[in-house]
Amino acid sequence: MNLHSSFKPLPSIKGFEHINRYWDKRMGAPAAKILPGECYVSNSGEMIVTVLGSCVAACIRDSAIGVGGMNHFMLPVKIGQKMISRPSVVNAELCYGNWAMEYLINAIIKQGGRRDRMEVKIFGGGRVLSSMTNMDIGGRNVEFVLDYLQKDGLNVAAQDLGSDYPRKVLYFPDTGAVKLKK
């Protein structure tokens, strides 16, 4: 039996229906792929996948109930009213760390999660464009996310930040497992 052709994902949590979901043959698991400016929360044993350069992804879950998700933001904070207009972004505010972090944490809480049980893993913030010597966007993203988590009282259980390489992140919110390819 070909699992790929017969894969029918469980219904997604309300508000995340737009995310690309598929059967990952290599991992043998259902997966959701998020792009910059997107976020996904799961309560059904899915793998969440993204690719990062200077962007940062926060993987957060309630370790007691196995509900969690991932965001993928491009810039630390939204300043002013200018919006990024991209057809793949459902909510352009999620391109900004301050919005993306709040959105992910609140979405987990709506599924029964509690802040005091949250496990946080953060990735990305690379300086992958060496020609941009005066604009270290990755470094600014790393500084933002570490400061945000410290102010919010959330401890970082694992991280792989900075350096000069892109990353592919595979996150399993039900178990908290992460596979990272540099």
Highest mean pLDDT among 74-88, 90-104, 127-141: 90-104
| Mean per-residue pLDDT, 59-78 | 95
Mean pLDDT of the chain, nearest integer: 89
Percent of the chain with pLDDT over 90: 76
Which residues pair with residue 109 across a beta bridge? none
CA 137, CA 133: separation in Å to the nearest integer?
10
Residue 56: predicted pLDDT: 98
Residue 176 has pLDDT above 60, yes or no: yes
Residue 9 has pLDDT above 80, yes or no: no
CA 41, CA 78: separation in Å to the nearest integer?
22
Q: What pTM was estimated for this model as a whole?
A: 0.88
Bigger pLDDT: 106 vs 9: 106
| Mean per-residue pLDDT, 140-162 | 97
Token readout for 123 is: 């990735």
